Structure 1
Amino acid sequence: MRSAIRNAVMTTTATSVLLGGIAAAVTPASAVGSAGCTRNDRNHSVWGPNLEWPAIRTGPGVAYKKKGQLDSAGEFWVECSAKNKYGNRWYYGKSLSSGSYGMKGWVAASWF
């Protein structure tokens, strides 16, 4: 009886460890600040398109977590930029939109 319980506990523990490792491997990339930039684009603002609300993300790509969004026709202060592994340029900076004012993050340059 004890042997069966011990085997069940060991199997459950091993499965939990394995699934935890898989979950960590599938989890979206962690946050990337301005250290991820490859080009200095300081001192200019860009405005989002009308009737669109571009996502502000934790890193340069859609695999990164969405932090918030710019308002329609919202202003974004660009500090720097980088291209992701697909060759798409992403701006890093700060939202000057009323709904997300002061939020720092990454927005796809294709929105502007």
Structure 2
Amino acid sequence: MSEALSSTAHDVPTGRKSGNCIGVAALVVGIAACVAALFPMTAFFDAINVLPLNGPVTWPTMFFGGIIGVVLGVIGVRRAHVGKASNLTTAKVGIALSLIALIICAGWVALNLTSAPS
């Protein structure tokens, strides 16, 4: 008449992988680093100059955010390849944005070194 459900019925794996929180963190850090990389550009315009943000906030966010984003992205890609995570693309985009921020940071450093008074 009525069957009792066994306790193993709820333990059946669904085949879904968990999300890649590390990859999402890499993406968020990469976005923050890219946004911070645009702040030094405001020094060229007097109307929107946010120079107080250029020193203590922008440079560490660009540099350390870029490095942390690349590291988190690599960990996320490895987790996705092993099968522990599902969103490989998110981790790859996080790596790309973090690398772009590091390249822009290197460009700003090069620009400041070449325009320094001798």
* Fold shared per TM-score above 0.5: no
Which has the greater radius of gyration?
A: 2
Which of the pair is proportionally richer in strand?
A: 1
TM-score (norm. length: structure 2):
0.27
Q: Which has the higher contact order (CA 8 A, sep 6+)?
A: 2
Which of the pair is proportionally richer in helix?
A: 2
TM-score (norm. length: structure 1):
0.28
